[in-house]
Amino acid sequence: MNTKIAACGLNCSECPAFIATHSDDNELRITTAREWSSAYNATITAEMVNCAGCFSESGPLFGHCMECEIRQCARDASLSGCAVCTDYPCGKLTEFFTHAPDAQKNCDELRNKSYN
């Protein structure tokens, strides 16, 4: 499976919802739903654990992806991701990166590749 990076820098290719979707792994969906329900104090069912990646036009997206302000901003600006934005890193990303330092690392690497 090719590496797929979300607008925010998260590695979709490492996400259980992305993996379960592409491998049609129902056991992974069940396990992930249980873990995420507990971790995020939310009701997440196995049926909800499907995602084709942040920029998917036709495939399923995990629930939060549909309401993600960072994803929507990149889509509205017709950008391949936040790393190529002239406002990088914006306030939304700076806050997000405090919770997802690997996403910042991915964005920084993509930015360096784009501008070098």
Cα of 67 vs its chain's centroid, Å: 12
Give pLDDT, residue 4: 87
The pLDDT score that the predictor gives to residue 116 is 56
Identify the pLDDT of residue 100. Answer: 92
State residue 31 phi and psi, 5-degree precision: -60, -45
Q: Where do the domains of the chain lie?
A: 12-115
Q: pLDDT tens-digit profile of 43-76?
A: 999 999 999 988 888 889 887 788 899 999 999 9
C-alpha to C-alpha distance for 98 and 25, rounded to whole angstroms: 31
| Owner of token pair 């629930």 | 63
- Which neighbouring-strand residues pair with 11? 5
* Per-residue pLDDT at 54: 87
The pLDDT, as a whole number, for residue 69 is: 94
Q: Helices 26-39 and 16-23, interaxial angle, to 10°?
A: 160
Using DSSP's 3-state secondary structure scheme, residue 58 falls into coil
The segments of the chain whose pLDDT lies below 50 read none
Would you say the pTM of this structure is higher than 0.75? Answer: yes
